Structures are given as structure tokens and as C-alpha cells.
Structure 1
């Protein structure tokens, strides 16, 4: 499922009409039919429904939706917010068809008090006010109406395509419909996966209106939602005669006297996620703690200075299929030396946490690497790497991560709600799983371990990363569904619940 911008959606519509031969009114009819069908599944015919119609195609969809719902005996009032003469084009055609079907509308203009008195009495409010073309500050009366809708605490609010007032491409939001459900048309819009705009969507579902895939492929960049279907399609399987050596020989480099837990979380999650053999390179001062914590890994104690790596790392890297570096290693000179050493090795690497801090000084080395390199920054680390502010990163997550991945030839995992995986070729994959329980120390270390393990077991790097991110988020979801709240989940809880997630994804066990 592709994610599109507003401009791309306009191009898709134009291509469908001009190149394929659909008519505009046919697309509007398809949209209204698909959304009405979904609405009828969500509510019963005893509910009092108000459809708020604005100008443009979003308003036209409202007329079609209203006509369909009325034909099935739903109690529907359509409120047309703009003056009648403002309704033009195919929206006007939909309006005329609605009237010729024997139905009436209410006009907001000169009936404001009546509208204000009725609005709190509706059970369902369907938002067809403003579409994907909206930019800038809202004008009257839309701003005031949106405030009144949001004040209706009893009504269920359903937005068509996007919540009115939100930009399709994301960004700051001044005033917008707070939807309980958004039925988006044909393809999700980019703003549904960035904050703060994503917080206005409520639950989001996609209504297919019959646009042929060729139109979407021709007119949009390669941004995809990585769904459970893709996870299952690309999930690795082990033949009966497999052994530990063929399931990946990995190394994790990290830890320090003040942060021994980070590298242990990464190591334990890698083992839980199927790594065949794992070696953990750690400062010698924390070796006894780590070795007592879990028995399944091998250890490579390294010389230290004041509890941190001193820069000496005499390892035969050719023995390993992949390496992860960074969790808990600290920001000392010794750590910087080790990161630079690892970057020059001919082995796939995952770079996280403090290794990303050191990487800022070594970015040119990335361009010289011809093997897989995976970076896993959160927004703060991405800001450090790019020299931007965190706010600038968050406002432009898609484009910044794509540019960085292509410029340096890396796979970039920009963490956060709706983590984005960008490939060196510029393809992007958005992860739909996860929740607030992951906003806690240690979560990122766990993801590093899962990525390392999956990298050694999947055939393709992109599918390994996307599956790892999905499993990480899905585990948090299952934990909260089963026995936890968003507040009390610990990083170690996530590790111990990974087996449950793997079983669920393989359809071997239900929650």
C-alpha cells in the first residue's frame, strides 16, 4: 500500500481520467459508495447523522454518501456550509443528483443558530468540509464549525479522506477536526504518518475506489506501509537440517561501566530473535556482570580506560556475518577509535546509539563502504547527524531520511511513531506497529538486536529491517493487549514477549 502526497494524489486522479479513461464523476461516485458502505458497517440506522459539506470534491463525496445512506433509510441531515453558488464542477453534479433523488439539504448561511442548536444532538458527524488541497490558516466559518464539532463529546466523528484542517502532507496544525475514524480514499496520505497531524486521524482505514494500480505507480514515489502481509511473506523459515552456523554468526560491540545494561538488552533480543551464534564485545570491567546475566552468548572482553573502551579491539571481523555497534559504549575517544575501525571492515554493520554520535565525524567513510550499513537514529540522533534541529527533523521526516540514505548509501531507520525505513535507492517503508510503551529507555537497544538477528536470517536487507521494526512494535502492542499498560512495560518485558509475537505472526498461536 503506497503513501502519497497531495500533489501525487491529484496526479493520480488526472492520470486515471486522462490516460485510463475514467470520468471524474465516476471516481466521485465510487468514492462515495465505498465510504458509505464502510460507514454502514460502523453505525446502525437508528443513529442521527449529520454530513457537513464544504466546497470541492470532498463536499461532492458528502452528497454521494448522503444519498446512499438515505436510500438505506439512515437518518441523515446534510448541512452545506458554503453558499450554493460556491458549489461547482462535479461537486455540483453530485448535488443535483442528490436533489433529483428526492432529498433536501440545509444551508448553513443564514441558519447558523439552527445549526448550532442541532449539532450537539447528532450521534454521528461525517466531516466532508475540506479536502487535501487545504493550506494555511482556516477561514470563517470553517474554523468556528470545526471547534463546535470538536466540542461535541458524544457524537462519533468520521472524516472523509483526511480530517478537515489537517494538511495531507503533514506539518503544523492550527485547528482541525479531531476524528474518531478517518476513511481515506484509495491511498493513505503522508500526513497520516507524521505528528502532530497523525493525532487527528483517530483510527484510519483505506477505501479502495477502483483506481488501477498503474496510475498510483506512475504518479507517486515509492513509499509503502509495511503490513503484516509483507511480514509473513518474507519471514524466514529454518529447514530441519539447519545448524547454529547457518543462522548467523553475529557480534555486538557496546557497553561501559556506567551503562552495562544497553549492550545486554541488545544481545538478549538478538538471541531471542534467532541469531545462531552471538559474540558480545564489551569492556572487561563489565564482563562478570554480562556473563552472569545470560549464558547463551560468547564474550570478548576488551581493554578499558576508566570503565570505557580504550580503543583497542583485536578482532578477526571476517568470522562474523554481521556486527552491531553502539549500545551503551559511551562517547569517549576510545569508542570513536573503535567505530572508525568497524566502519572500515568488510562486513554488514548496524550502527546505533553512541556509535551514531561518533559517526558524525566520519560520514565520508560511509560513502566508501560497499557493504550493507544500517543506521538507527531517533530524531535527536538524526538532528546531530544532519546538523538540524529536532523540530526540523520531525517536520520533514520522509524527505530528510530519504536524502540521507541516498547520499550516503545506507539503510536509515528513523525511529519514532511510524518508524521510516529508507533504502540507498530511495524507497521508503513505514512501520504501522508500536505504541507509547516503547517510549522508554532500552527500547532502541532491543531493536538493534532484532535487526542484527534478522539481517543474518533474511535474504534481503530491506525485508530484514522492516520485519524487525514491525516485530518490535507488534510486541509492544501485544504486551499492552495482554497484561500491561503503556506506563509499566519494561525493555526486558519486550524481550521476553518476542516469542509470543513470532508465534502470532506465524499464525501458530492467537493472543
Structure 2
């Protein structure tokens, strides 16, 4: 499913009307009908419903919704926020149809008229918002947010922009947003996402050809995508078919991180996994993972000294960084990997710290073999020399620019993690929950990515599937017997079999 900006949606609408020939009046009718069908899941017989209507297409949808709900016998009051003479175009056609059906719309007077409703439906501003909210929308939205009513937004919460890259001082805080045709970019950015509540997407009859006319390069990665791309094991396969992976990480103070990565990689299907650690922690780590092979490398003060203790050419993929620390030895090893390793290289955790070096960034750019970077927002901001706040205002665009400039697969972790390819395509993960906000879960993801990169033929599918499975494991844990606060990284590893059973 595509994810669109305001301009992209305008172009889809234009193509639908002008090139395909479906009139805007019909699209508005379809939108109102589709919204109402889905809204019925959240309405009860006897509810007192208020519909707040503005100008433009969103207001036009509101007129259709009012007419349909009234025709179904619901107790509905519709309040028009602007003056009636402001209603024009297709919206005016549907206002006229509403009135000719024997129904009325009340003019807005004061915020007191918003009280004592069970449900409030927001059809005020839609994707056309520019700049800050003006009166009386400010007062209306603030009053709605104080109400105890169930709040539904049509397409997008009023006060939120479609692109999600503007500060939000005030917006309608919906319990549910029923978005039309395709989700908007702001549904996957914060703080905009907080105003959406639950997100539902409904079809309004726009043909696929219209959506295909716009190259959005953004797509939700869903369970169906995983089902279509995750490989099944042949009955004649053996461990060598699923890759020889190397994990380089750990230090005297962080021996747990590479253990988590190794266990996750094995649990996720890695065929043969070797863990390279500083020699001083060999005995500690080896006692925790009996299924892996080990390669103790020379150390100084508990960290890698910089000497590589293996022939790297025999490995199909390498994960570098978990628990590494930030000493000089790690930088020396990463520099050598960027120069000489000719297979997929995954860089995570402290490994990303070294990439702030201009010298290593240049090597990253020149590297021909695939590279996967897995930063969270703080690490990504450091790579860009930005603040986290600046990054979050336009995380999609900054991710794309970085991935394309350096030729990497970039996993920007967080709510709705974004997987960006070197050519700029972006795949947004649809699983996960706040239970993953715990130390070690990123190390687990790195292990899953390593296993999937070796087991898939397509690198983007491998990475997107790994991120999906990682998030799904957290969802399954909470659905079973965990809360959002007690999940450990090891729990995520132990939940992987439950997730895999849904695909195999």
C-alpha cells in the first residue's frame, strides 16, 4: 500500500478526474459512503452524534456522511463552522443534496453547542491545511479535545498536515481516523501520529492506474508482503544453505549485546554463526551460547585491539558493532571491513559511532558490496550532524537522502521503522509496540537481519521482513502474557518461533 504526501494525492485526484473521467462529485459521494460504512463499527444505536463540517473536500465528505447517517436513522447534528456562502464546488452540490433530502445543517455559534454528544466526527479541514489554525477552528478543536466523546476524523485529523513536517500547536485528537484511499505520510511521523488514534484505510473507488501515475517510492510493508517473500526451506537443504555469518562485537563492559545478536541470528534461521569477541570475554560469552562458534580476537583494556583474527572471505555476511564500545580498535576493524569485505555488511550500535568519521564515511560511499545501517533516531541524527528534533521533522526525506548519497540500505528504527534502499525506495514497517523500548532489542534486530540477509535472495525483502518479524514478536508477547513494560530482549528472541509459525 502506497503512502502519499498532499501533492501526490492531489495528482492522483487530478488523474482520476481528468484522465480517467470519474467526476469529483462521485469521488466525494464514494468517500462519504466508505467512511460511514467503516464508522458504523464505532457507533451504537442511540448515540448522539455531532458532525463538524468545514470547507473544501473534507467538508463535502461531511455533508455526505451527515446525509447517510441520518438516512440510517442515527441521531445526528451537523454544524457548519464557516459561513454557508464559503461552500463551493462539489461540496456545495452535496450540501444542496443534503438539504433537498429534508435534512438541515446548523450554523456554528459558540463552543457550548459542542457539548453532550457521544460521538464527534471531524470533517473540518482535511489535507488542505496551510499554516496555523485560525479562529473559530482553534476554539472548536480545543473544546472537542476536552470532551469525553468518541472522536472520529475524516481522512486526517484537523490541524495535522498530510506530510507531517510542520510543528503542531493544536489538532483534533481522534480516537479513530478513517483515511480515504491511501494513508498520508503524517500517519507515520511523530508527533502527528499521536493525533490519529487508530488508523483505518478505506477504498473510495479510485482505480489503481491513478495511484500508479504517481511514483511515491513509499510503501507499507505488511503481513502479506512477508508471506509473499519469506523463503521456505527445501526438504533437501543443509546448514550451509542458510549462510555462514560472522558477528563482531562485545567488550568487557558489554558482553551481553553480542550474545543477544548471536542467539537472535540462530533463532531466525542462520545456518552457521561465528561470534568474534575480545579474548578477555571469551569464556563468559561462550558459556551463554552453545550453538555458535567463537573466535577470540586480541584485546586492550577489554576492547578489540584492532587486529582481525579470521579470514573474512569465508563468510556470507557480517554484523558489526553490538557492544563494541568506541575505542580505536573497533574503528580500525570497521575501516578494514569497508575496504576489503565483499559481501553484505551490517553496521549497528557502536559501529555507527565510527561512521561519523569523514574518512570512514568516504569509504562507506565508495564501497561496492551492500551495506546495511540500523540507527535509531539519536544515532541517525549524529550521522547527519543534526539534532533529533530536526531529524524527526522530516525523517523520510533525510533517510532517503542519506541512503542514496552513501549507497546503503538504511533502517531508521523507531515507531514505524523505515527501510530505505540505495535507490531511494522506502518501506514502512507496520508492527511493533513500546515494549521494544528496552536495551538489547536493537541487538536482537541485528541478529535477525543477519540471518535473513543470508537466507533471502532479495536484500530489501530480507531487511523489511526482519524488521516486521522483530516488531511482530513484541506484539505477540503483549498479546500473550506480557505488559508493555516487562518485555526483555531475550523475550523477543523466545517469541520468534510463535511468529514464524504464522508464516511456515
Q: 1:159 aligns with which of 150, 153, 162?
A: 153
1:239 aligns to 2:234 (yes or no): yes
Kept after mapping to 2: 8 A contact 1:247/1:277: yes
Which SS does the other structure have where 1:275 is aligned?
A: coil
Which SS does the other structure have where 2:247 is aligned?
A: strand
Distance 1:372 1:235 in 2: 20
Q: Deviations over 1:317-339 (max 9, x none)?
A: 12111100000111111010001
Q: Deviations over 1:119-168 (max 9, x none)?
A: 33211111001110112211111011101111111x11000000011111
Distance 1:75 1:287 in 2: 71
5+ long unaligned stretches in structure 2:
none
Which SS does the other structure have where 1:486 is aligned?
A: coil
The aligned residue for residue 486 of structure 2 is: 488
The aligned residue for residue 194 of structure 1 is: 189
Kept after mapping to 1: 8 A contact 2:438/2:489: yes
After superposition, where does 1:293-308 map in structure 2 within 5 Å?
293-308=288-303
Q: 2:443 aligns with which of 445, 468, 477?
A: 445
Larger mean CA deviation between 216-225 and 96-105 belongs to: 216-225
The alpha carbon displacement at 1:501 in A equals 1.3
The aligned residue for residue 125 of structure 1 is: 120
1:428 aligns to 2:426 (yes or no): yes
Q: Deviations over 1:36-72 (max 9, x none)?
A: 1111232233211111000111000000011111111
After superposition, where does 1:6-155 map in structure 2 within 5 Å?
6-108=6-108, 111-112=109-110, 116-117=112-113, 119-153=114-148, 155=149
The aligned residue for residue 348 of structure 1 is: 344
Kept after mapping to 1: 8 A contact 2:396/2:418: yes
Kept after mapping to 1: 8 A contact 2:260/2:490: yes
Distance 2:56 2:36 in 1: 18
Which SS does the other structure have where 2:439 is aligned?
A: coil
The alpha carbon displacement at 1:221 in A equals 1.5
Which SS does the other structure have where 1:367 is aligned?
A: helix
Distance 1:386 1:191 in 2: 22
Which SS does the other structure have where 1:472 is aligned?
A: helix
Kept after mapping to 2: 8 A contact 1:398/1:420: yes
Q: Normalized against structure 2, the TM-score is what?
A: 0.98
Which SS does the other structure have where 1:301 is aligned?
A: strand
The alpha carbon displacement at 1:92 in A equals 0.8
Distance 1:434 1:377 in 2: 16
Which SS does the other structure have where 2:232 is aligned?
A: coil
The alpha carbon displacement at 1:242 in A equals 0.7
Which SS does the other structure have where 2:287 is aligned?
A: helix
- Provide the alpha-carbon RMSD of the alignment: 1.0
Q: Normalized against structure 1, the TM-score is what?
A: 0.96
Larger mean CA deviation between 386-395 and 51-60 belongs to: 386-395
Distance 2:480 2:502 in 1: 13
5+ long unaligned stretches in structure 1:
507-511
Dislocated runs of 4+, deviation >4 Å: none
Q: Deviations over 1:253-309 (max 9, x none)?
A: 000001101111111100110001000000001110111001000000000000000
Distance 1:219 1:237 in 2: 34
Distance 1:233 1:497 in 2: 22
Distance 2:17 2:488 in 1: 52
Q: 1:499 aligns with which of 463, 485, 497?
A: 497
Distance 2:242 2:255 in 1: 26
The aligned residue for residue 338 of structure 1 is: 333
Number of matched pairs: 500
Kept after mapping to 2: 8 A contact 1:317/1:347: no
Which SS does the other structure have where 1:293 is aligned?
A: coil
The aligned residue for residue 458 of structure 1 is: 456
The aligned residue for residue 162 of structure 2 is: 168
Which SS does the other structure have where 1:127 is aligned?
A: strand
Kept after mapping to 1: 8 A contact 2:419/2:428: yes
Q: Deviations over 1:387-430 (max 9, x none)?
A: 11111111111000001111111100001111000001110000
The alpha carbon displacement at 1:214 in A equals 1.7
